[in-house]
Chains A and B, each alone.
Chain A
Amino acid sequence: AQSVSQHNHHVILSEAASLELGCNYSYGGTVNLFWYVQYPGQHLQLLLKYFSGDPLVKGIKGFEAEFIKSKFSFNLRKPSVQWSDTAEYFCAVTDYSSASKIIFGSGTRLSIRP
């Protein structure tokens, strides 16, 4: 069965610091990968997605993620965070061939100190 692991439960950074959130998945087949963000009081929104092609994908608000197939990883990065990036971040995976259910990780809460 597919699963997603996010090892950082809560990350606290100062503004302008660099960010990297870890995501590992377990699935042997071809996958589609996502990062979603949930700002306080708001619904889940897509940050970026990987379907195929260039393993380095860029999303909204300066976020990017790199798919490393050999490591089953899809880490999220941002070179310089802002206070407005305070939110919960979720990594998710789905089976590419069947495009079945989307499995989410437990999330990483990001707190940015102004």
Chain B
Amino acid sequence: DTGVSQNPRHKITKRGQNVTFRCDPISEHNRLYWYRQTLGQGPEFLTYFQNEAQLEKSRLLSDRFSAERPKGSFSTLEIQRTEQGDSAMYLCASSDRDRGTEAFFGQGTRLTVV
């Protein structure tokens, strides 16, 4: 399968712990996006990268959230000092900026903070 891969698929953590998610985009895709989705809502934009450069961060993204994309390949999203309100599905998507803007999504990582 050469689609977008996210790990882990599920994560249960205690409040206050740090968590890190990984996203492997479709190879050669230069854009990578992170979204958060809660039940009954559409994907909510968090941040995106063009190669290794982080181009935009949502104002909704508190300083507890950080994302990286070293070398412009895979990306990680870290949440520090998790809160119950962080419980959601975290989605990663990638696209080829030079061939069009449609994004291809991964299966997501479901985070539950207890």
CB pair A107–B48 under 8 Å, yes or no, is no
As a 0/1 sequence over residues 93 to 114 of chain B, the CB contacts with chain A under 8 angstroms (1 = contact) are 1000100111111111000000
B90 part of interface (Cβ distance < 8 Å): no
Select one of A49, A104, A105, A106 contacting B102, CB under 8 A. A49
Select one of A32, A102, A106, A107 contacting B33, CB under 8 A. A102
CB pair A43–B107 under 8 Å, yes or no, is yes
Name the interface residues of B21-47: CB closer than 8 Å to any CB of A: 31, 33, 35, 40-45
CB pair B45–A102 under 8 Å, yes or no, is yes
Q: Which residues of A contact B (CB under 8 A)?
A: 4, 6, 32, 34, 36, 42-46, 49, 51, 90, 92, 94, 96, 99-107, 109
CB pair B102–A101 under 8 Å, yes or no, is no
In angstroms, Cα B106 to Cα A28, docked, is 30
A55 nearest CB across to chain B (Å): 18
Q: How large is the interface on B (under 10, 10 to 19, 20 to 34, 35 or more residues)?
A: 20 to 34
Q: Whose C-beta in chain A lies nearest to the C-beta of B43?
A: A104
CB pair B102–A34 under 8 Å, yes or no, is yes
In angstroms, Cα B35 to Cα A105, docked, is 13
B60 part of interface (Cβ distance < 8 Å): no
CB pair B101–A32 under 8 Å, yes or no, is yes
